[in-house]
Amino acid sequence: PGGYRSRREWHTKSRRLRVLEDRLQAARSDWQAGVVHVVRGSKRLLTTRQHLQAAGLTEAQWRTRWEAGRRFLQADGESGKRYGNETIRVTPDGEVSLKLPAPLTHLANAPHGRYVLTARVAFAHRGEQWRDRISVNRAVAYRIHEDTVRGRWYLTASWTIPPATTVPLAAARARGIVGVDTNADHLAAWRLDPHGNPVGAPLRFGYARTGTAAHRDAQVRHALIRLLHFAKRHGLAIAIENLDFQAEKTREKHGRRKTFRKLISGMPTSKLRARLVSMATELGIPLIAVDPAYTSRWGAQYWQKPLTGKTRKPTRHDAASIAIGRRALGHPIRLGVPPRPLRHWGRTAPPHDDRSDRRGHRTAQAGPGTRGREGTRPRIPGPRTRSVSPDAERKRATRTPKTVRDVRSDQVWVQDSLRLT
């Protein structure tokens, strides 16, 4: 839709495509040849060497950071080994020991070729989970690195979170739901009881999309933890839209709508979804993913105005969160709209008035257990054409034909092509 504005724009896009194809081919060639373009300590630190004055560093300070970025110790864990890691072992009381290689065993200060560090470590974040894992010898990966800015050494522990267990849908709906509408800069939420009625006031959990990647990630994490704490405090499940903009932000779909494409490209849907699943699993909060179709439109149409008062003015996003919650609970979103009748086999939907005989005979649907519903219909006496009504014979006897003359012969209607004068 829309195409290109000019031949110049088409030429620019074509050149960009060729450049990307050349880069891809070069990357594939390096990968097949085993060439790795990785700079220990980051490429940014390497280029800083040529701009020390702009970075506010001396050569000695830069050299310290360069050596610290290239000097670290890392070891993956293995389940079944003592405390979940044989190379870097950390006991529950914080003692760290290293398994030295064969050429360095003469430096060991502990039995079995191990070197014990004098410092003790402690994990302020998720320390209980780490202690539970090493107590049953579950795999834990460690990384020891130096922070030159603070002048400290750090030990980082990481492990894989097991897949989340599912709960029955009825159990997740038992105490109510928090419907969450995902937007570009905030999460709009509203609590609903098991019957689909909004409870309390709407909630809003904002996050910023500016700054560094670490800052944006922290903003998303902070908004999610506030939402999860609210759901945990009231014992509720969370209903969220199953959004995926991978195929929705292309030029072929939205044309020249750059603002809209930029908006949906900036929404952290994949990061937010992955982090929400991980954090909700740790807290034991059920998640329900619903279809996002028409939630914003129907929510604004059927819920925004009825909930607006003197002290409360919900937005379109707040109304969409109600629509999401009602869909997760299995209730209809639209108020006052009767459900569609079930279509049974053997009948089709009634046609429009201008396509058949005023939709007369198809409105009554036959039930699944009705006898003879697959059989033929009884013949109705009278003309079988759609242009002639059943009482045409009676009306024709009382009026004079004006344009055509009809002749009946052997139960077949024949229309004369001659015009009468």
Please, which contacts does 134-137 make with residues 24 or more away whose CB atoms are closer than 8 Å? 134/83, 134/84, 134/90, 134/91, 134/92, 135/92, 137/79, 137/80, 137/81, 137/82, 137/83, 137/84
- In order of 228, 313, 318, 412, the CA distances from 202 in angstroms are 15, 9, 6, 70
Return mean pLDDT, the chain: 79
Contacts of 401 (CB under 8 A, 6+ apart): 420
* Helix locations, 116-157, DSSP H: 127-135
What is the 3-state secondary structure of 234-259? Answer: HCCEEEEECCCCCCCCCHHHHCCCHH
Distances (CA, A) of 231 to 163, 291, 308: 21, 21, 24
Q: Return the minimum-mean-pLDDT range out of 192-196, 260-264, 285-289.
A: 260-264
Q: How far, in Å, CA of 247 to CA of 240, rounded?
A: 20
- Beta strand residue intervals within 159-272, DSSP E: 177-182, 186-192, 198-206, 237-241
Task: Tell me the average pLDDT across 106-118.
Answer: 92
d(CA 228, CA 278): 11
CA quadruple 384, 386, 387, 392: dihedral positive or negative? positive
Query: Cα torsion at 140, 141, 143, 144 (round to 10°)?
Result: 40
Tell me: pLDDT of 408 over 50. Answer: no
Q: What is the pLDDT of residue 125?
A: 85
Alpha carbon distance 128, 132 (integer Å): 6
Q: What CA dihedral angle connects 293, 299, 300 and 306, to 10 degrees?
A: 170
Confidence tier at 87 by pLDDT (50, 70, 90): very high
Q: What is the pTM of this model?
A: 0.52
Residue 409 confidence (pLDDT) above 80 = no
Contact status, residue 90 vs residue 138, Cβ threshold 8 Å? no
Q: Residue 389 pLDDT > 60, yes or no?
A: no
Q: Residue 383: CB partners within 8 Å, gap ≥ 6? A: 389, 390, 392, 393, 413
Q: Is the CB of residue 181 less than 8 Å from the CB of residue 189?
A: yes
Helix and strand numbers, DSSP H then E, in the chain = 13, 13
Q: Could you say which architecture CATH assigns to the domain 169-329?
A: 2-Layer Sandwich (3.30)
pLDDT value of position 142: 95
pLDDT of residue 217: 78
Residues in the chain, overall count: 421
Secondary structure of the chain: what % helix, strand, coil (to 5)?
35, 15, 50
- Contacts of 236 by beta carbon, 8 Å cutoff, 6+ apart: 175, 176, 177, 178, 191, 230, 285
In this model, does residue 61 exceed pLDDT 70? yes
| Neighbouring-strand partners of residue 74 | 143
Q: How far apart are CA 180 and CA 335, in angstroms?
A: 20
- Strand, coil or helix: 90: strand
Query: What's the confidence (pLDDT) of residue 42?
Result: 79
Question: Is residue 253 predicted with pLDDT exceeding 60?
Answer: no
Token pair in block for residue 363: 């409105």
pLDDT band at 214 (very low <50, low <70, confident <90, very high): confident
pLDDT band at 380 (very low <50, low <70, confident <90, very high): low
